[in-house]
Amino acid sequence: MTKAYAAQTASSPLGPFEITRRTPGPEDVEIAILYCGVCHSDLHTARNEWRNTLYPSVPGHEIVGRVVAVGERVHRFAVGDLAGVGCMVDSCGHCASCAEGEEQYCENGFTGTYNGPVAGGENTYGGYSARVVVKESFVLRIRHDEKDLAAVAPLLCAGITTYSPLRHWRAGPGKKVGVVGLGGLGHMGVKIAHALGAHVTLFTTSPGKVADGRRLGADAVCLSSDPAQMAARAGSLDFILNTVAAAHRLDDYLGLLKRDGTMALVGAPEHPHPSPAAFSLIFKRRSLAGSLIGGIRETQEMLDFCAAHGIISDIETIRMDYINTAYERMLKNDVKYRFVIDMATI
Ligand code: NAP
Ligand code: ZN
């Protein structure tokens, strides 16, 4: 039996729970989990905000740990190695998306690290647990210094979810990029966009985060609740990465884009955003887009990029039994900037 923390229903707090992990098969890697980041998706799932939660729900998809066993056909990992696991643990492997290394868009539905295959099937249990067994092809190599391990965990979701769209829409030198929301994803978005060489403007609703925005790499910070600050930036950005976890008026941000600019949504709120006005799009031929995590190959590329640029997450390490309080603080935008569970406390 493996120790874990689970939500038993949408309204019950998370608490101790025992799960069974499979015995590692020939292609499997067994990892003793050292740290697991706390993503807002964990909260959406534990509370059934997306109406698809399988219970008991063991969230957690920002996993880092040490390899404790490998199957006979595993070649890239050995016992004692550090390893990471993100949001996916399997996909069909043969559709066009999988063939292109974009397993997150698997046409037959990838298998989430928690909450099972997106196309339906048996539940899977995530990283709020002592151990996990994962197919080698979904295990990531960690090249950061071991002392930073806890702060590497959030890269496995918050890192890749921001890196992938920033690369896809070519954030880089000469580009003006906006990042909306300074939470777990947003603070990684600011760091990565800055490291890619873009000019970064952070949009935050929290006056207390303005100074942090600059420290994290933003060239400018705009308090989005101030209409004058927003109006001053109308039509100025090439690309906006919107990480907000709650429904809000998208028109306020679409108006900040230049002609042909794009805003990509990565935030996945419980309730739909009010529909943007057609005029927000048609007058400057703007696009509204979305992006889902990133493929395994790109996740490794992101981890290596962050290791090379000295990028880790700004974290608050917590005990496992603090998780319910952590969720309440997340809902108050009171996280600087990612909670990470020390799995020794489970
Ligand atoms: P988080 O740490 O809670 O950060 C969200 C931030 O959004 C907050 O810190 C806050 O920033 C801002 N915000 C919250 N409520 C707002 C409101 N009503 N109006 C405007 N801004 C608001 O959450 P996270 O872990 O970064 O996740 C963000 C969202 O992305 C979640 O919905 C999550 O499920 C989703 N997600 C999507 C993917 C994907 O693949 N697309 C992957 C992971 C997560 P300020 O205080 O700066 O305003
Ligand atoms: Zn996540």
**Spatial separation of the C-alpha atoms in residues 179 and 64, rounded to whole Å:** 26
Q: What are the phi and psi torsion angles at 303 (to 5°)?
A: -60, -40
Percent of the chain with pLDDT over 90: 100
What integer is the mean pLDDT of 206-234? 97
**What band does 57 get if pLDDT is binned at 50, 70 and 90?**
very high
Identify the residues whose C-beta falls under 6 Å from ligand 1.
Answer: 39-41, 44, 157, 161, 181-186, 204-206, 209, 243-246, 248, 266-269, 291-293, 330, 333, 335
Protein residue closest via CA to atom 16 of ligand 1: 246
**Spatial separation of the C-alpha atoms in residues 179 and 218, rounded to whole Å:** 9
| Full strand arrangement of the beta sheet holding 199-204 | 220-223, 199-204, 176-180, 237-242, 257-265, 287-290
Distance 330 CA to ligand 1 centre (A): 9
Query: pLDDT (tens digit, 9 = 90+) per residue, 242-262?
Result: 999 999 999 999 999 999 999
Instruction: Pick the atom of ligand 1 nearest to 291's CA.
Output: 41
**Spatial separation of the C-alpha atoms in residues 152 and 142, rounded to whole Å:** 8
Distance 241 CA to ligand 1 centre (A): 11
Query: pLDDT (tens digit, 9 = 90+) per residue, 96-112?
Result: 999 999 999 999 999 99
Distance 183 CA to ligand 1 centre (A): 6
Distances (CA, A) of 80 to 45, 92, 235: 32, 29, 52
pTM (whole model) above 0.85:
yes
- Contacts of residue 133, Cβ cutoff 8 Å, sequence gap at least 6: 21, 22, 23, 24, 28, 29, 30, 31
Identity of the residue numbered 302: M
Question: What is the C-alpha R_g of the chain?
Answer: 20
Query: pLDDT (tens digit, 9 = 90+) per residue, 273-318?
Result: 999 999 999 999 999 999 999 999 999 999 999 999 999 999 999 9
Query: pLDDT (tens digit, 9 = 90+) per residue, 159-218?
Result: 999 999 999 999 999 999 999 999 999 999 999 999 999 999 999 999 999 999 999 999
SS3 210: helix
Q: Which of 195, 230, 214, 220 is nearest to 312 (CA)?
A: 195
Distance 234 CA to ligand 2 centre (A): 31
Q: Which of 40, 225, 299, 327 to probe ligand 1 with, by most ligand atoms within 8 A of CB?
A: 40
DSSP string for residues in 8-45: SSTTSPPEEEEE-PPPP-TTEEEEEEEEEE--HHHHHH
Instruction: Pick the atom of ligand 1 nearest to 290's CA.
Output: 41
Protein residue closest via CA to atom 46 of ligand 1: 206
Instruction: Pick the atom of ligand 1 nearest to 338's CA.
Output: 2
Distance 2 CA to ligand 1 centre (A): 31
> Which ligand is located closest to the Cα atom of residue 250?
1
